[in-house]
Amino acid sequence: MESFIYQAQPARVIFGSGTAAQLADEAQRLGLKRLLILCTPGQAALAERARQWAGERVVGIFAGATMHTPVDVTERALRVVQDLHADGVVSIGGGSTIGLGKAIALRTDLPQIVLPTTYAGSEMTPILGETKDGLKTTQRSPRILPETVIYDVDLSLSLPSPISALSAFNAIAHAVEALYAPDTNPIISLMAQEGVRTLVRALPQLIETPHDPAVRSDMLYGAWLCSYCLGNTTMGLHHKLCHTLGGAFNLPHAETHTIVLPYVLEFNAPVIPDAMARLCHAMNDDDPVNTLLALERACRIPMALKDIGMPEEGIAGAVQQLLANPYANPRPLETIELTTLLEHAWAGTGSRAIG
């Protein structure tokens, strides 16, 4: 076995059904007395439930979180933090809300308690992507990682099946990229493989029985494992490409990750035999790329970048922007191959001719 370094992230995880009721206890454990609850405009009612769980410790709600964590939204939220003298933030929702909480924590070092309602996984990473002037930049810092994550299966029961599926594919992308990251290790590989196995098994069940608590529990468990893997390894082409497209064209986060995933995996497949072997085992199939495409079709979710708002004429600029500041990737990045990859993902062809 090759040498490796493994360092566990210090986040505290509470997992189960009805665990959101422990919010007040977690705030007390962290010594927090003035909580600001964060959410998107569409989840104000859920934020009010969080207010009830936390009780008198809540001093306000900021319902302005939005996709891709725009810097101007963070600045507005920071003014609320200062005006209310908040000593901690509670992020309840998906990646948009969690991203805002992380952006606030980066600037203030305030503790974060997160209650995820999707499977996106941002809560388990010390990674923050922020958007300004059409450019999305990413950074890592220990200040970004939430102190406590409360996974309550009950919060995901009403998540619509298409959104659930998109969120799950987003999580799978985290694990897939962790399998071939330059700093992966045997522990992360085991967690990634188990995360993919759990989600790939649960997705067809989700389509048949979307309100089954056992299925939702498996989905949440798999997503946690996958996102933990991302938080402990270096991101590669998949995440760089999605960040580029999301920032440049304001594309929806989960949809972009879902559509791009099989194409990037196909692109890297020839040079990642160990990762592909693990994926074959996790998916119980000798063709992980085809398995992903078939699952996406079965879930009836968007399968082409053109269908989520990306203009075809934006491909060349996206490739140029990607190559200007690439992430680590096992296969060298060249203009022609990346252009072909994006053309297939834009059209949704499912082509096996990327390489």
pLDDT of residue 352: 53
pLDDT of residue 256: 96
Q: What distances in angstroms separate CA 156 from CA 57, 142, 151, one per listed residue? A: 25, 28, 9
Residue finishing a domain among 156, 178, 198: 156
Residue finishing a domain among 126, 156, 186: 156
Mean predicted confidence (pLDDT) in 102-120: 96
pLDDT of residue 135: 82
Q: Does residue 20 form part of some domain?
A: yes
Domain match, 52 and 108 both:
yes
pLDDT of residue 6: 75
pLDDT of residue 355: 45
What single-letter DSSP state applies at residue 328? P
Residue 201: pLDDT above 60? yes
pLDDT of residue 130: 93
Mean predicted confidence (pLDDT) in 241-248: 90
* pLDDT confidence band for 1 (50 / 70 / 90): low
Positive/negative CA dihedral, 50, 54, 56, 59: negative
CA-based radius of gyration for the chain = 19
Question: Other CB atoms closer than 10 Å to residue 8's CB: what's the count?
Answer: 8
Per-residue pLDDT tens digits for 141-191? 999 999 999 999 999 998 999 999 999 999 999 999 999 999 999 999 999
Mean predicted confidence (pLDDT) in 69-87: 97
Per-residue pLDDT tens digits for 251-266? 998 899 999 999 999 9
Structural domain span for residue 152: 12-156
pLDDT of residue 50: 97
Q: Does residue 3 form part of some domain?
A: no
Q: What distances in angstroms separate CA 69 from CA 82, 86, 134, 223, one per listed residue? A: 19, 20, 12, 21
pLDDT of residue 321: 92
Residue 129: pLDDT above 60? yes
pLDDT of residue 280: 98
Domain match, 270 and 340 both:
yes
For residues 244 and 352, the model is more confident at 244
Mean predicted confidence (pLDDT) in 226-236: 90
pLDDT of residue 354: 46
- Give me the DSSP letters along 227-270: HHHHHTS---HHHHHHHHHHHHH---HHHHHHHHHHHHHHHHGG
Pairwise CA distance, residues 352 & 211, whole Å: 35
Residue finishing a domain among 156, 187, 213: 156
Domain match, 257 and 111 both:
no
pLDDT of residue 7: 76
Closest listed residue to residue 266, CA positions, set 281, 244, 288:
288
Per-residue pLDDT tens digits for 273-312? 999 999 999 999 999 999 999 999 999 999 999 999 999 9
* pLDDT confidence band for 36 (50 / 70 / 90): very high
Flag the least confident range among 4-8, 20-24, 140-144, 200-204: 4-8
Pairwise CA distance, residues 321 & 310, whole Å: 15
Q: Does residue 309 form part of some domain?
A: yes
Mean predicted confidence (pLDDT) in 210-229: 95
- Average pLDDT of the residues of the chain: 93
Domain match, 193 and 327 both:
yes
What single-letter DSSP state applies at residue 106? H
Total number of domains constituting the chain: 2
* CATH code (residue 297): 1.20.1090.10
Mean predicted confidence (pLDDT) in 225-241: 91
Domain match, 250 and 305 both:
yes
Tokens encoding 245: 């497209």
For residues 4 and 152, the model is more confident at 152
| Alpha-helical regions (H) of the chain | 23-29, 44-54, 71-84, 95-108, 161-179, 186-208, 213-231, 237-249, 253-268, 273-283, 288-299, 315-324, 335-347
Domain match, 285 and 339 both:
yes
Mean predicted confidence (pLDDT) in 316-342: 93
Q: Does residue 231 form part of some domain?
A: yes
Pairwise CA distance, residues 314 & 202, whole Å: 35
Domain match, 142 and 29 both:
yes
Flag the least confident range among 52-66, 98-112, 115-129, 283-297: 115-129
Domain match, 52 and 147 both:
yes
